[in-house]
Amino acid sequence: MATLTDKTIKIRYMSKNIVNNFIQIGKELKEVRDTDLFKENFLTFTDYLHKEHPQLSDGFVFRLLKVVEDEKLVASAPKLGITKTLELLYVPDREIREELTEKAIKEDLTTKDIREEVKKTKISPERPPLIDTEEERKFKLLREYDLFKGEVKRINEEMKELYDKYIVWNEKASKYASLGVERDVMQELFKNLKGELE
């Protein structure tokens, strides 16, 4: 039977893997986004995320990408863990963030302590935004544009599908009409088609 020490060592090892996987996922997503790899099968990066990785929220992916864009946060993530690393993103000034990161590691600050330190970096007592508002607006606009493009593509696909069903129905109607099929049979065919379209 395993001892508490054995379990503790195993859990620490597994926790470290979680952080490493967290960073690696961010790097992979960044590469997919930055090199336009998503365009192989998807119109937009957001569409790719929603279809292939529905378990990852847009906000989480956005924060993850911000982490991997900051080499010092990437380097400190294994020492801090995921939650503390994400909290440090709320410090918009990179130099202050680096100082706070060093302090968090050196003094082994809790997540709550880091939040308090982050608040001190702002004049306002409110929680600061993840990034400066201009960059945040740009990201939101790009995301909305991606969603809009994806919606247009979906509507076009639905219209093509409806048109294809109409062609099939029209061919059947012409065939039955040429055979002299009675009107009630045609109406039944139309009801069936209408049910398929709804």
In this predicted model, what pLDDT tens digit does every residue of 83-116 receive, in sequence order? Answer: 888 888 888 788 888 999 999 999 998 989 988 8
In this prediction, residue 27 carries a pLDDT of 92
- Express each pLDDT in 53-64 by its tens digit: 888 888 888 888
In this prediction, residue 166 carries a pLDDT of 80
pLDDT band at 9, cuts 50/70/90? confident
Contact call for residues 111 and 87 (beta carbons, < 8 A): yes
91 to 86, 135, 191: CA distances (angstroms): 10, 14, 61
Spell out the domain ranges in the chain: 133-198
- Express each pLDDT in 149-196 by its tens digit: 778 888 888 888 888 888 887 777 777 666 655 666 666 766 776 666
Between 73 and 171, the more confident residue is 73
